[in-house]
Structure 1
Amino acid sequence: MTIDHTAATAHALSLPATLTRPRVSRLTAQLAAAPTANYTTTCAPYTGEPLADLPVSTPADVEDVFARARRAQARWALVSLEERRRILLRFHDLVLERQDEGLDLMQAENGKTRRDAFLEITDIAITARYYARTAAALLAPKRRRGAIPVLTHTTELRHPKGVVTVISPWNYPLSMAAGDAIPALMAGNAVVQKPDTQTALTALWALELMREAGLPKDLWQMVIGRGSSIGDALMAGADYMMFTGSTASGRRIAAGAGERLIGASLELGGKNAMVVLEDADIDKAAAGAVAACFPSAGQLCVSIERLYVAEEIRDEFVAAFVERTRKLRLGAAYDFSVDVGSLTNSAQLETVTAHIADAVAKGATVLAGGHARPDLGPLFHEPTILTDVTPEMTLFAHETFGPVVSIYPYRDVEEAIAMANATPYGLNASVWSRNGARGRSVAARLHAGTVNVNDAFAAAWGSIDAPMGGMGDSGLGRRHGADGLLEYTEVQTVAHQRLQGFAPPRGVSYERWSRILTLALRALRRLGTH
């Protein structure tokens, strides 16, 4: 099977003009590292050519960063929500105005297509605007019912945690970096962030724009380095941990946070399922499957890797899905002409090829794709569809995190739900049906933090007023919505007791006081209040 691709190979592709050496140097200068730091070199996935030399931070550098962040946070906590809002809205405008810079950086560092990179631009603009406009109401003091009506004045207050550590991955370098820093900063915290080294320039671009928008310099700082080197320092200085990455790493971070008795929010792995009901619109479902499985070359936590299709429509759906997949344009281009880009690193290419080879050796059938494409660049792999996948195959239950999906037939909806839920993960899912009510009913029975009906993942992810996160081995906590802001705060109750307290008034015995309170409680019950 041959997949269409752009005529020019990635090997002949030059880096975009925005990525000049002075530009890259200006971005890397924002990293917190000693003047004598060691350097590490990143390479462009499209071509393998060197991209940037980055100074690596040491544990001592991280300790210094936290000390400066703590001083900056004490001042920031006194800044009005209105001023914080203005900074976020200026940042929103800068992201949109300077989006070409960000698009070039994301493509150069990650290897994704421009259309996938653009979704990150829109995501961060929406996130900044949402929290700029909702934070004041979410963080405002709330009156709560007091212990004794009228006499107890009770208020719920929200205070910033202090300094938040954000550890962000390489697959969505803007969304996962800035998207978590925005609510943390808006809530009054400082942020110390370790972006993945491979995509640090994109995170640093967001930091540059935020400082240009007016954010104080030491309030959001970035370091890079291996977790084995600076991970302990990042945990030791944090008042809260925000991590996006593998389930194995998430468990270690959760254990460390537990030892320190600090909070943590973790978005981890997934083996996401899509269920196509027998009444689905087949053309729309096939197009939806393409959008669900192959964005960012499948390197997306919420992308679909398992596809369950009703037996009645299986053949027709598979034919439509395979046809659409074969027409995808695979290649490298700093414009919107390509459908599927490159994988980001050699480890992901090795995982993808190993999972496919293992499945084929054990009897799986390749319906589309199945091969690496070194003719296009060192890390390209064809979008791949498999069937006849069985439990002894590695990719049956393990996350591939690449452009690979397996199709399974089912007899009835109960079987489909059981198969979709037969995983320790629970991040995202998708259901397709012409009947919206039926689709929502099935969705509610799937074990996943977000479920999309007649959409892959964008509907839930883009509904930023609603929480997003995983169940089971897919993580703890939620981003987006009120949860995504309030998790970065400490809640405090202030209760002011006026006139009469809980002890009996002078001259009234405890026995008589107990009878009075009993009558009062019964009266409140009858009145239906409190």
Structure 2
Amino acid sequence: MTDVQTSRDTTGTNPLAPAPAGARTAADVVTPELVAQLTKGVAGSGRTANHTPFTGEKLADLPESTPEDVERAFAAARTAQAVWAQIPVRRRAAVLLRFHDLVLERQAEVLDLIQLETGKARLHAHEEVQAVAIAARHYGRRAAAYLRPKRHAGAMPALTKVTELRHPRGVVGQIAPWNYPLELSVGDALPAFVAGNAVVMKPDTETCLTALWARDLLIEAGLPADVFQVVLGEGPVVGPEVVRHADYVSFTGSTRTGREVARSAAARLVGVSLELGGKNAMLVLEDADLDKAAAGAVRACFSSAGQLCISIERLYVHESVADAFLERFAARTRAIRLGTSLSYGADMGSLVGERQLEAVTRHVADAVAKGAKVIAGGTARPDVGPYFYEPTILDGVEESMTVCAEETFGPVVSLYRFGSDDEAVERANSTPYGLNASVWTKDARRGRAVASRLRTGTVNINEGYAPAYGSAQSPMGGMKDSGLGRRHGSEGILKYTEAQTVAHQRLLPMAPSLGLDDERYAELMSRSLRLMKAFRFR
């Protein structure tokens, strides 16, 4: 393995030094008073707890919901939803706009919680604040247009008046993951609320304080408390109960669990949206700006310690520039600073827990044992925190290695060389997943052409993931085993509604009339259909 300088500061200050006097600690942030406030209204007969990855210590004692608690939460949500749905959409949207302002004003509170619960560096935690603010603003401004009644051409011009209406589904069951506890919890719930639904959410227990903070802020912004229910507990116990009672299911997590959710929902003929796993590829073409590509690869591969569904785990670099790119990328990777401070400065934080650390360690060890070369990283860092692992670059990865095909979900990326655009596209597409991709080139037309051939829900040109994800007017989601449905844009809100067509027939019926017998009526309709085609009626 290579000798790395990861988390060894080159500016003269040691990021691993004890925190200065007055620095915030977990105990300063997660006080008994805060926990009591955030868990108010969360039903739970048992008790559970969550922990911070920075040290492994307990953060808070929490209520644990039973199946009966979940049933009661849905009952309360249904009663509240009937009233909430009658409120005009612009008033519902105003709640989102007030929430937007509150999130930005009080972001320091939630940044602390996100860091403590996930182990992220603060800048990566701020990505969640940005994403939630963007979603709140977008749906706060555009929901009325997305949901307004729409006129359509009828079966008989001038005689058939057709209107499409959108009704809320009722109570949405949402199962949110641990890796982005603000954005992938409340960020997905916002369009459901503004569409007139209630939500019963099961966040991951280890990161639930962030989701509960967002609920508290939404209530402050004007959302009726019973419209947003939160249940806590083990996924195999509470998750199926949420699916069993929901009118629609929103799930973000692993492909394996997503299949189980889909099967359970299908048995009830309930719709689902699923954002699942990824093995995302970044393509560096021979004409790319290598310095910018190397810097972008650091962001794409190691943000949130690689624990991001749309982060890059496979780097395909043209063989003519591979060595030059790798030299730049490795230098930047070795300079990454690890840290646990509740402040800006660290470049990367911790893995979330023992399971993720074990998976990352196993993938790297398997690759090395089978002949891969560690270019940077490759080592756990218990001196920083119990679940820290250095950002790692692997070269010489072969198909027999676990890291080649399985999602690692950690700060590990494998580099491969290619000789042509066709080869790069074919290899990037040679995976069951299809969530996100990245293409680097100075030729915008070429970049768009390559992007259009990649079988992924989003593609970013000259960036890793942020532009596509942050463009909230456009759909985001996965192809193939990476999921069903989309978040963002019209699809991100209309999925939480039922479409209803109301057709008003005027003057004449769609049947023989005015003395026409069946045969003459059929002839008249046939002539009418030919005329409508000739005059380009749609």
Which interval holds the TM-score relative to the shorter structure? over 0.9
**8 Å Cα contact 1:270-1:301 kept in structure 2:** yes
5+ residue gaps, structure 2, are: none
Task: Describe the shift of the 1:132–1:285 C-alpha distance in structure 2 as closer, same or farther (beyond 3 A).
Answer: same
- 1:193 pairs with 2:204: no
- 1:28 pairs with 2:36: no
Q: Alignment partner of 2:408: what SS?
A: coil
* Structure-1-length-normalised TM-score: 0.98
Give the corresponding residue for 1:370: 378
- Which digits, 9 at most, give the CA deviation of each residue in 1:371-418, with x for residues without a partner? 000001101000000001011111110000000000000111111111
Distance in 2, matches of 1:364 and 1:142, equals 57
Give the corresponding residue for 1:235: 243
Residue identity matched to 2:36:
S
Give the corresponding residue for 1:115: 123
Give the corresponding residue for 2:153: 145
2:4 pairs with one of 2, 10, 14: 2
1:15-54 correspondence to structure 2 within 5 Å: 15=26, 17-33=28-44, 37-54=45-62
Give the corresponding residue for 1:206: 214
Residue identity matched to 2:416:
Y
Give the corresponding residue for 1:55: 63
1:193 Cα shift? Answer: 0.2
Query: Once structures 1 and 2 are overlaid, which stretch shifts more, 292-301 or 505-514?
Result: 505-514
Runs of 4+ in structure 1 over 4 Å off = 10-13
Q: Alignment partner of 1:493: what SS?
A: strand
**8 Å Cα contact 1:278-1:312 kept in structure 2:** yes
Distance in 2, matches of 1:208 and 1:345, equals 27
Residue identity matched to 1:50:
K
- Which digits, 9 at most, give the CA deviation of each residue in 1:327-372, with x for residues without a partner? 1111111111100001111100000001101110110100000000
1:42 Cα shift? Answer: 1.4
Distance in 1, matches of 2:494 and 2:114, equals 29
Distance in 2, matches of 1:232 and 1:366, equals 41
**8 Å Cα contact 1:116-1:296 kept in structure 2:** yes
Distance in 2, matches of 1:10 and 1:179, equals 35
Residue identity matched to 2:341:
A
1:202-351 correspondence to structure 2 within 5 Å: 202-351=210-359
Residue identity matched to 1:473:
D
Give the corresponding residue for 2:519: 511
Distance in 2, matches of 1:366 and 1:529, equals 63
1:119 Cα shift? Answer: 1.0
5+ residue gaps, structure 1, are: none
Give the corresponding residue for 2:183: 175
1:118 Cα shift? Answer: 0.8
Distance in 1, matches of 2:29 and 2:338, equals 24
2:502 pairs with one of 477, 494, 511: 494
Distance in 2, matches of 1:30 and 1:455, equals 42
Distance in 1, matches of 2:536 and 2:217, equals 53
Distance in 2, matches of 1:141 and 1:11, equals 60
1:152 Cα shift? Answer: 0.4
Give the corresponding residue for 1:70: 78
Q: CA RMSD in A?
A: 1.2
- Which digits, 9 at most, give the CA deviation of each residue in 1:45-100, with x for residues without a partner? 11111101111000000000000000000001100112101111111111011100
1:501 Cα shift? Answer: 1.4
Residue identity matched to 1:189:
N
Give the corresponding residue for 1:426: 434
1:125 pairs with one of 117, 121, 133: 133
**8 Å Cα contact 2:49-2:205 kept in structure 1:** no
Q: Alignment partner of 1:335: what SS?
A: coil
Residue identity matched to 1:365:
K
Residue identity matched to 1:229:
V
- Which digits, 9 at most, give the CA deviation of each residue in 1:243-288, with x for residues without a partner? 0000000000000111000100000000000000011011011011
**8 Å Cα contact 1:11-1:46 kept in structure 2:** no
Residue identity matched to 2:372:
A
Give the corresponding residue for 2:463: 455
Q: Alignment partner of 2:26: what SS?
A: coil
Q: Alignment partner of 1:181: what SS?
A: helix
1:506 Cα shift? Answer: 4.0
Q: Alignment partner of 2:184: what SS?
A: helix
1:440 pairs with one of 444, 448, 469: 448
Distance in 2, matches of 1:330 and 1:297, equals 10
Task: Describe the shift of the 1:222–1:11 C-alpha distance in structure 2 as closer, same or farther (beyond 3 A).
Answer: farther
Q: Alignment partner of 1:294: what SS?
A: helix
**8 Å Cα contact 1:364-1:386 kept in structure 2:** yes
**8 Å Cα contact 1:270-1:399 kept in structure 2:** yes
Distance in 1, matches of 2:520 and 2:40, equals 74
Distance in 1, matches of 2:454 and 2:15, equals 43
1:8 Cα shift? Answer: 4.7
**8 Å Cα contact 1:195-1:203 kept in structure 2:** yes
1:513 Cα shift? Answer: 1.7
**8 Å Cα contact 1:11-1:377 kept in structure 2:** no
**8 Å Cα contact 1:3-1:382 kept in structure 2:** no
Residue identity matched to 1:246:
S
Query: Once structures 1 and 2 are overlaid, which stretch shifts more, 409-418 or 519-528?
Result: 519-528
1:101 Cα shift? Answer: 0.3
Q: Percent identity?
A: 57
**8 Å Cα contact 2:15-2:338 kept in structure 1:** no
**8 Å Cα contact 2:364-2:378 kept in structure 1:** yes
1:16 Cα shift? Answer: 6.7
Give the corresponding residue for 1:96: 104
* Structure-2-length-normalised TM-score: 0.96
Residue identity matched to 2:303:
P
1:43 Cα shift? Answer: 1.3
Q: Alignment partner of 1:274: what SS?
A: strand
1:14 pairs with one of 25, 29, 41: 25
Residue identity matched to 1:463:
S
Residue identity matched to 1:85:
A
Q: Alignment partner of 1:17: what SS?
A: helix
**8 Å Cα contact 2:15-2:337 kept in structure 1:** no
Give the corresponding residue for 1:360: 368
